């Protein structure tokens, strides 16, 4: 089918796609149109990676936003389309793709960042791109424009299978469907074993296809040859290097690029370092010069060891790619790989999920990954490996794509064929019946008034994928009951004769978008600090009457004038103990180090500590490790040193900092709700995390374009506050920014410098960036 023949599209849209080189629809796209995706029908499209799912979504959204107009359709109606992405990092990329539609007078908005808002400004957009967490939060905060949705697209919908994030996507889709009558849902999925079940759940039409725009050969390398799925073999000898190096070299002989999937960030970095020696032999002088420029750009992003390592590899035509990298780094790598400058990228599987980086060959080097809960190395899912396979072959550039696994012996060769080459992907299974997921979503459903009785709650949960799939409907009910009891016990909901109501704290917790268990941990910790405080002041004026903190129950009344002055480390530890902060693993020697620290700083830590032999002691220590990382960050330790000390990437540090900032903000609000007077200490701790500075720099670091390092240099030069900066001598400021004239001027302008020459400006804007 030609794009020009697609029904339901407003004028100009087909011309636009034709100008982009898309004249004829790919067969699965044609099938989607035949099933009515441009005429309001819901659809599940389960097709391989890189087979044009995005176009299906675009056609659906454009026709949904348009209004019927005589014989055809035209833009200008009230409909809004929502595109749900699986990763925050992808929101910008997708919105960038859709911005081309601004030529039709449409506007595109991206919603990321602060969870606690109703996104009212988003309502002006025709297309909104957001993560499922964000959409969930918008619904919780009462965003009205949700009612105007005419089409919602769920990208990578097979991720409903994900333990952590799947339930949010599932519940969000269920809620949107319940709230907006006749909502068109377009769910895009990798090829999965049970696409028909997904379609059943969403009352949608189904396109289930394994068509690809470019041929894919899959095989396993073993010995001196690649053994292909069609029974043929191609000689590929290893020589003195590794199997991976041999495949990369062989691909380069044919002027092709290789994407190597490994199982950890560290392996990605080590692999890139080794493969750089292979890639560099194939570069032309011109490529070498271009790569040097990319390497310089990489170094300019940040002054860290990771940045240097990446730049070194890129200069030789190789790179690594993982979620610990700064976004700018990831983008530079992706672009250089698409431009065929970088010849080989070693990546963790995050790259397979959505980023468009096709490659002649894909090598799945590690098909096992360490899994702490399962206690050792576990094989990857077929679904995941097939998605990596799917990155092989660039339509229009390569004659075919090739995906290769590596076997060490003959048995493994056979195993890999059975396990991945000939195997079908697993079915997608809902993970909703897990307690942490239900805790969050049940509270949200009650707090938003979405469900006001236990029966309505059970009914709503009956509309989820879990309910469609389970053969034990009693289980969801019983877990839901446990969860309601937990929420009741912690004072987040009240139950009476089957009626459900959220308390004020419950409302707040739901709006703050924290796991109720995180909120309960924070509430307990702050109460405890208040009690310990009132104990010590009671001791001081010798008026007996308060029990010691540990003897009190969590729900016991606090004195009316409760106050506390928790230390920053205590607060960092408190928020690091919550399930919303992902753990830093304890490595060898850490147990001793942090046990010692736990005793040393016992008075700073909030709430009763578990006993050393108790099962939760390990968690207590690993939270302390995170707290210490934050403590180092707010003591102005260099990012590089932190990365080294905790064995993490710069992206991880940013992740921790952002999460801590968000949880401390929640703590500040909860303290207000509880009437515990400690908001000032919590706010100071949050600001210190936000800027990564000691207390004395808080004022300065808040000036836009200053940041932690410059604030310290200004301070060293005698400028200690905004007031000082306003009156400062420009030459001093220039010294602190290492002679960067434009930067100095910008900073002075931002602070409203009192220099008649520069003009009086009263801007005193705070920067919102956490990191310099």
Residues that bind ligand ADP (CB under 6 A): 22, 25-26, 29, 49-55, 356, 395
CB 748 within 8 A of CB 725: yes
Give min distance, CB of 343 to ligand ADP, in A: 21
* Residue number, 25 or 272, with CB nearest to ligand ADP: 25
Contact 328, 360 (CB under 8 A): no
d(CA 208, CA 142): 36
Q: Which is nearer to ligand ADP, 48 or 317 (CB)?
A: 48
How many residues does this entry show for the chain? Answer: 772
To the nearest whole angstrom, how small is the minimum distance from the Cβ of residue 49 to ligand ADP?
5
Query: Shortest Cβ distance from residue 48 to ligand ADP (Å)?
Result: 7
Query: Contact, 44 vs 52, CB < 8 A?
Result: no
Whose CA is closest to 444, among 520, 506, 355, 490? 506
Smallest distance from the beta carbon of 596 to ligand ADP, in angstroms? 50
Task: Output the smallest distance, CB 51 to ligand ADP, in A.
Answer: 5
Q: What's the closest the beta carbon of residue 210 comes to ligand ADP, in angstroms? A: 12
Q: Minimum CB separation from ligand ADP for residue 334, in Å?
A: 13
Which residue, 51 or 510, has its beta carbon nearer to ligand ADP? 51
What is the smallest separation between the CB atom of 319 and ligand ADP, expressed in angstroms? 21
* Residues 433, 479 contacting (CB under 8 angstroms): yes
Q: Closest approach of Cβ 71 to ligand ADP, in Å?
A: 25
216-222 β-sheet, strand order: 233-235, 225-228, 216-222, 401-406, 361-364, 258-261, 344-347, 318-321
DSSP conformational letter for 417: I
Of the two residues 54 and 350, which places its CB atom closer to ligand ADP in the complex? 54
Tokens 């889709």: give the residue: 173
CB of 53 to ligand ADP, least distance (A): 3
Q: For residues 52 and 568, which CB has a smaller minimum distance to ligand ADP in the complex?
A: 52
Residue with smaller CB distance to ligand ADP, 53 or 175 = 53
Q: Which is nearer to ligand ADP, 97 or 535 (CB)?
A: 97
C-beta closer to ligand ADP: residue 52 or 570: 52
SS3 396: coil
What are the Cα distances from residue 165, in Å, to 440, 663, 756, 766? 12, 18, 55, 33
Write out the two tokens for 76.
């200008």
From residue 207, alpha-carbon distances to 45, 85, 186, 194, 419 in Å are 5, 20, 11, 12, 26
* Least distance to ligand ADP, CB of residue 291, Å: 24
Token duo for residue 357: 């980086």
Query: Which residue's CB is nearer to ligand ADP, number 356 or number 478?
Result: 356
Neighbours of 78 (CB within 10 A): 10
Q: Count the Cβ atoms, other than its own, within 10 Å of residue 436.
A: 17
80-85 vs 149-154, strand pairing mode: parallel
Q: How far is the CB of 28 from ligand ADP (least distance, A)?
A: 9
Cβ distance to ligand ADP smaller for residue 98 or 460: 98
Tokens 């769910």 correspond to what residue?
187
Cβ distance to ligand ADP smaller for residue 399 or 498: 399
Nearer to ligand ADP, 20 or 255 (CB): 20
270 Cβ contact partners less than 8 Å away, ≥ 6 residues apart = none
Six token digits for residue 528:
């405890």
- Residue 136: count of CB within 10 angstroms of its CB: 24
Closest alpha carbon to 316 in 267, 252, 389, 239: 252
Do the strands 344-347 and 258-261 form a parallel or antiparallel pair, or are they unpaired? parallel
Place of tokens 């499922």: 132
């Amino acid at each position: 089918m030609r794009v020009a023949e697609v029904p339901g599209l407003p004028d100009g849209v087909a011309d636009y796609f034709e100008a982009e080189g898309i004249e004829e629809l790919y067969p699965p796209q044609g099938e989607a149109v035949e099933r009515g995706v441009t005429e309001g029908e819901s659809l599940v499209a389960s097709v391989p990676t890189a087979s044009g799912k995005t176009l299906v979504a675009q056609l659906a959204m454009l026709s949904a936003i348009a209004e019927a107009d005589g014989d055809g359709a035209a833009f200008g109606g009230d409909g809004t389309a929502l595109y749900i992405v699986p990763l925050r990092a992808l929101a910008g990329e997708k919105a960038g793709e859709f911005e081309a539609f601004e030529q039709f007078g449409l506007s595109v908005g991206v919603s990321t960042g602060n969870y606690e808002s109703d996104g009212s400004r988003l309502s002006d957009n025709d297309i909104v791109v957001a993560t499922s967490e964000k959409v969930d939060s918008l619904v919780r905060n009462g965003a009205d424009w949700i009612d105007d949705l005419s089409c919602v697209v769920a990208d990578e919908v097979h991720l409903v299978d994900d333990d952590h994030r799947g339930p949010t996507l599932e519940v969000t889709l269920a809620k949107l469907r319940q709230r907006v009558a006749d909502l068109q849902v377009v769910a895009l999925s990798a090829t999965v074993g049970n696409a028909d079940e997904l379609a059943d759940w969403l009352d949608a039409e189904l396109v289930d296809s394994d068509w690809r725009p470019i041929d894919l050969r899959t095989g396993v390398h073993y010995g001196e040859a690649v053994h292909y799925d069609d029974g043929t073999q191609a000689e590929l000898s290893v020589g003195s290097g590794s199997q991976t190096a041999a495949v990369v070299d062989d691909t380069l002989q044919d002027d092709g690029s290789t994407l190597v999937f490994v199982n950890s960030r560290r392996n990605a970095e080590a692999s890139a370092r080794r493969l750089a020696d292979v890639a560099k032999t194939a570069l032309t002088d011109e490529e070498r010069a271009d790569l040097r420029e990319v390497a310089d750009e990489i170094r300019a992003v940040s002054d860290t060891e990771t940045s240097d390592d990446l730049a070194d590899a890129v200069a030789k035509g190789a790179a690594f790619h993982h979620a610990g990298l700064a976004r700018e780094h990831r983008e530079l790598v992706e672009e250089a790989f698409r431009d065929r400058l970088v010849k080989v990228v070693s990546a963790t599987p995050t790259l397979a999920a959505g980023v468009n980086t096709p490659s002649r060959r894909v090598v799945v080097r590690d098909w096992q990954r360490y899994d702490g809960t399962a206690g050792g190395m576990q094989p990857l899912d077929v679904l995941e490996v097939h998605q990596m396979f799917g990155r092989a072959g660039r339509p229009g550039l390569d004659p075919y794509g090739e995906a290769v696994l590596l076997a060490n012996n003959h048995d493994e060769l056979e195993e890999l064929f059975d396990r991945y080459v000939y195997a079908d992907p697993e079915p997608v299974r809902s993970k909703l019946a897990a307690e942490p997921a239900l805790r969050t979503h049940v509270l949200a459903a009650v707090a938003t008034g979405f469900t006001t009785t236990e029966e309505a709650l059970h009914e709503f949960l009956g509309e989820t994928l879990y309910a469609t799939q389970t053969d034990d409907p009693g289980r969801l009910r019983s877990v839901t009951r446990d969860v309601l009891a937990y929420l009741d016990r912690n004072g987040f909901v009240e139950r009476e004769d089957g009626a459900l109501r959220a308390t004020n704290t419950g409302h707040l917790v739901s709006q703050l978008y924290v796991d109720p268990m995180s909120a309960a941990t924070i509430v307990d910790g702050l109460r405890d600090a208040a009690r310990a405080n009132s104990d010590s002041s009671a001791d001081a004026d010798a008026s007996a009457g308060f029990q010691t903190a540990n003897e009190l129950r969590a729900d016991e009344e606090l004195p009316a004038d409760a106050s506390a002055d928790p230390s920053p480390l205590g607060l960092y530890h408190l928020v690091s103990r919550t399930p919303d902060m992902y753990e830093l693993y304890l490595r060898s020697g850490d147990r001793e180090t942090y046990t010692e620290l736990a005793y040393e700083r016992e008075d700073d830590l909030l709430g009763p500590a578990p006993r050393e032999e108790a099962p939760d002691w390990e968690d207590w220590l690993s939270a302390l490790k995170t707290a210490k990382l934050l403590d180092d960050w707010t003591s102005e330790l260099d990012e590089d040193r932190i990365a080294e000390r905790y064995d993490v990437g710069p992206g991880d540090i940013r992740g921790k900092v952002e999460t801590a900032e968000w949880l401390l903000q929640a703590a500040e609000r909860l303290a207000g709700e509880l009437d515990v007077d400690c908001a000032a200490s919590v706010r100071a701790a949050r600001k210190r995390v936000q800027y990564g500075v000691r207390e004395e720099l808080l004022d300065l670091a808040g000036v836009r374009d200053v940041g932690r390092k410059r604030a310290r240099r200004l301070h060293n030069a005698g400028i200690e506050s905004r007031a000082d900066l306003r009156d400062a001598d420009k030459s001093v400021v220039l010294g602190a920014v290492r002679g960067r004239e434009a930067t100095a001027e910008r900073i002075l302008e931002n602070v409203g410098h009192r220099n008649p020459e520069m003009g009086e400006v009263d801007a005193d804007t705070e920067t919102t960036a956490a990191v310099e």
